[in-house]
Amino acid sequence: MNTTALSLRKVSEDLVNDRGTPRADRTLRRRCSPLASTAEQLRVLAAVPLEKQSARVEFETLAGELRPTELEIFQVNVGKLCNMTCRHCHVDAGPDRTDAVMSDEIIDQVIAAIGRTRAHTVDITGGAPELHPRFRDLVEAAVTASKHVMDRCNLTVLLLPRNKGLIDWFAERKVEIVASLPHHRRPNTDAQRGQGVFDRSIEAMRLLNAAGYGRGDPGRRLTLVSNPAGAFLGASQATAEREWRQSLEREHGITFDRLFVLNNMPISRFLDWLQQSGNLHAYMHKLVQAFNPAAVAGLMCRNTLSVGWDGRLYDCDFNQMLDLQIAMPEGAHISSFNEESWHARSIVTARHCFGCTAGAGSSCGGQTA
């Protein structure tokens, strides 16, 4: 058994014994939901009648063929293990997901690829990536390769005893914290992420502020990521950022550097919620009606490589969660990654892509139009 597998046992024991982190839901996998299968998710999406101005539409009808620009973001999803189980999770992450965690072998292949890539940013996500036993090795390797490192953080994970000292460790390495917080007030945040998550998120942000994060220092950047707590689109990012600043500062004395506003993708647990709540058709209709051609140019799939926990490659984290692999001639695995054929490929799209082109657009870097 390798390092990761051994330590993983301890991590999952800690999560089982963690009574502090609230949980809103259970994973689709644990519930044995039909939607735990990506084929079933694609089938459900394909069955929704989609039309615009009385004509049937698909994503490709409106957006055309998507081609890459330059490779800027090297995004690594280290696995689906998470201390939380939010209702809208597009990963179906949770404390029980030890089945989908990056192995030592793949971590080493990823580290080697980071040393070769021209991408300027390494974006680490999950699950809660900080729970991966070799998370710090990965960050260290990216820092050594002079990459800007982004940690996609759920905030509450920073309060776990096993992560004591992690914030200072990040600060020393200028790691950007990209933290999920659905809303600047308690009700919507707790509705999506679990009762009590808002208060724990505030506590974590206080620690980040105390370590110099969120105070305008480019080496200690705190980016917040909001997504709607329901079947509607995200607010205007610029306006929301002003309102969030006022509210978080006034109510909690908390500051941050920037806000990304994302839409929820109709996949995985959000798809399940849409179905259960009877909102699926109306939400898909809303996404299609709100299709914004101006949002297409800035889509993340055009400048991002997405690496899955098993080393397979994708155009984005959402395609990854639907098992829609990248279209490259060498095959789609990090061990054989070739940046030239990344440039030459076409991006794989399907109906869920309407989530990224609705309204002001939505990508890992926030709104795109």
Please report how close the Cβ of residue 231 comes to other proteins at its closest, in angstroms.
Answer: 9
- Please report whether residue 235 would count as binding other proteins according to CB under 8 A: yes
- Please report whether residue 105 would count as binding other proteins according to CB under 8 A: no
Query: What are the residues whose beta carbons fall under 8 Å from the beta carbon of 182, sequence distance 6 or more?
Result: 188, 189, 192, 193, 226, 227, 228, 229
> Is the Cβ of residue 26 or residue 186 nearer to other proteins in the bound state?
186
- Please report whether residue 242 would count as binding other proteins according to CB under 8 A: yes
Figure out which of the listed residues 145, 163, 199, 232 binds other proteins, where binding follows CB under 8 A: 232
Please report how close the Cβ of residue 178 comes to other proteins at its closest, in angstroms.
Answer: 19
Subset of 167-196 contacting other proteins (CB under 8 A): 183, 185, 187-188
- Please report whether residue 252 would count as binding other proteins according to CB under 8 A: no
Number of Cβ within a 10 Å radius of residue 129: 24
Whether 223 and 365 have beta carbons less than 8 Å apart is answered as: no
Please report how close the Cβ of residue 225 comes to other proteins at its closest, in angstroms.
Answer: 14
**CA separation, residue 217 to residues 150, 208, 213, 256 (Å):** 15, 12, 7, 10
Please report how close the Cβ of residue 87 comes to other proteins at its closest, in angstroms.
Answer: 16
> Is the Cβ of residue 80 or residue 183 nearer to other proteins in the bound state?
183
Please report how close the Cβ of residue 250 comes to other proteins at its closest, in angstroms.
Answer: 15
Q: Which ranges constitute the DSSP H helices of the chain?
A: 3-17, 38-46, 59-63, 104-116, 135-144, 166-172, 186-193, 197-210, 237-252, 268-276, 280-289, 317-321, 339-344, 354-357
End-to-end CA distance of the chain: 48
Task: Give me the amino acid identity at 147.
Answer: K
Give how far the C-alpha of residue 159 lies from the chain's centroid of Cα atoms, to the nearest Å: 20
Figure out which of the listed residues 95, 228, 308, 311 binds other proteins, where binding follows CB under 8 A: 228
> Is the Cβ of residue 188 or residue 292 nearer to other proteins in the bound state?
188
Please report how close the Cβ of residue 360 comes to other proteins at its closest, in angstroms.
Answer: 11
3-state secondary structure of 107: helix
Figure out which of the listed residues 93, 113, 197, 233 binds other proteins, where binding follows CB under 8 A: 233
Number of Cβ within a 10 Å radius of residue 339: 13
Question: How big is the chain, counted in residues?
Answer: 369
- Please report whether residue 239 would count as binding other proteins according to CB under 8 A: yes
Please report how close the Cβ of residue 255 comes to other proteins at its closest, in angstroms.
Answer: 19
- Pair of tokens at residue 319: 């395609």
Figure out which of the listed residues 236, 276, 277, 338 binds other proteins, where binding follows CB under 8 A: 236
- Please report whether residue 243 would count as binding other proteins according to CB under 8 A: yes
Looking at residue 166, the DSSP 8-state letter turns out to be H
> Is the Cβ of residue 169 or residue 232 nearer to other proteins in the bound state?
232
* Binding region for other proteins (CB under 8 A): 183, 185, 187-188, 226, 228, 230, 232-236, 239-240, 242-243
